[in-house]
Structures are given as structure tokens and as C-alpha cells.
A and B are shown apart, each in its own frame.
Chain A
Amino acid sequence: DIVMTQSPASLSVSPGETATLSCRASQSISTNLAWYQQKPGQAPRLLIYGASTRATGIPPRFSGSGSGTEFTLTISSLQSEDFAVYYCQQYNDWPPYTFGQGTKLEIK
């Protein structure tokens, strides 16, 4: 199984600043990587797929990059509604589909 490792586990950033979240795959997954946002008590929401393509309705302050085994989610000009848990997921080699353990983005 492909192991997805996210770092850091938690991140404190001030509103208006930029947050950079990382995700590493245990083997190459090309660009078959998605990022999801989850707020407390809510279902996950797809943000980014194909490593860098924003999903429908996702604002441009969310951007993704990377390929192979190293991926980054960048959130610029952080707004209050962006503070949440973020998960990466590979869909290149399944079953199983695997998720990272999550990065909790907190307000500083």
C-alpha cells in the first residue's frame, strides 16, 4: 500500500499570511493526488485534484503543486474560513486509496 505522510501535523498561521502544507507519497503517484479540506462536524470537501487543478468553486488562493512523491498545498492570504484540517489522498494505485494523516491549520 502507498503510505501518504503529511507535514507538519499542525500549523499556526496568522490571517492574511500564507500557509504551506506538504504531502509525501511512499512511491511515485504521478500527479494522481487530491487535497481535501475538512471543518469540524463537516464532510471533507475536494479542493485540488491532479495535484494542481482546483475543484469547482475553489478560490484561487488555494494552489497545489508537485509530482511523483512530493506535493505541496499553498493557501495564500489566509481567511478565517480556511482554518481547518487538510488531507492529501492518492488515487494512483488502488485499492486501497490512501489518505495522509492530516494537517490541522490553526489561527495564530
Chain B
Amino acid sequence: QVQLVESGGGVVQPGRSLILSCAASGYTFSNYVMHWVRQAPGKGLEWVALISYDGSNKFYADSVKGRFTISRDNPKNTLFLQVNSLRPEDTAVYYCARGSGTSGWDPFDYWGQGTLVTVSS
């Protein structure tokens, strides 16, 4: 069965960095688009970033462009999100999610359980 397991969250001071990871299993990781989506405490869902199945194309929300970097290691079935210059408003649960196809014009059919990032001094 498809499993996505995030890790790497924690408490970090403003301006610092983190690397979030998402380990995928149960399917051919390299065949699918992957996303990061975040949810601030008590708030709704905000899409953060997309990476194409082969890593050649990446897209970002304006709120994180220039600060966050999405990447993937297909042989290791792992998705990453490098988060730099963190701000208090980046505090959220970060989910990785699988796009259900290869094109991007697809819903998100599997989600991890999320990893909490808290930005606080």
C-alpha cells in the first residue's frame, strides 16, 4: 500500500533553516508528481510546492518562492523540502502528497501524516 512518511520538523528560530523529508513506499515513486502542502494551526490547507516526476520542473507558491526548495531522490524514493529564512508565519504542519498522475493536472491522492514546523524565538 502507498505510504508517505514525513520527518525533519521541529522548533527553529526565525531566519534559520530546516530540511524536511518524505519517504515514499508501496508504489513506483519516480512515476508521480509530488507536492508539499502546509496547514497553519487551526487554519486551512495551503499548497507550497510541486516537483515533476523526474525532478526537472519545480513550482512554488509566491509565499515561499526564493526561500524554499523542493527536490527528490528517485533511487531513494524520497522527497525533500529545504526551508530557509524561516518566518513565524511558516509555522505549520507540512504534508507531502502524491499527485495522482504525471502531468500536474491531477488531484492529490495520498498524503503523509505531516511534520510540524514551529518557528519561534
Contacts and interface: CB of A to CB of B under 8 A. Distances in A.
Interface string B58-75: 011110000000000000
A100 B44 CA distance: 8
Interface of A: 32, 34, 36, 38, 42-46, 49, 55-56, 87, 89, 91-92, 94-102
Q: How large is the interface on B (under 10, 10 to 19, 20 to 34, 35 or more residues)?
A: 20 to 34
B38 to A, nearest CB: 11
Interface in B63-116: 95, 100, 104-114
B44 A87 contact: yes
Nearest to A47: B107
A96 B44 CA distance: 15
B44 A101 contact: yes
In the complex, which of the residues B62, B107, B114 has the most CB atoms of chain A within 10 Å of its own CB atom? B107
Contact of B45 (A46, A55, A95, A99): A99
22 contacts: A34-B108, A36-B108, A43-B95, A43-B111, A44-B95, A45-B111, A46-B107, A49-B106, A55-B107, A87-B45, A89-B45, A89-B107, A91-B105, A91-B106, A91-B107, A94-B59, A94-B105, A95-B59, A96-B61, A97-B47, A98-B47, A99-B45
A42 B112 CA distance: 9
Contact of B47 (A42, A45, A96, A100): A96
Interface of B: 35, 37, 44-47, 50, 59-62, 95, 100, 104-114
A43 to B, nearest CB: 4
B108 A46 contact: yes
A69 B52 CA distance: 27
In the complex, which of the residues A45, A95, A101 has the most CB atoms of chain B within 10 Å of its own CB atom? A95
A96 B63 CA distance: 10
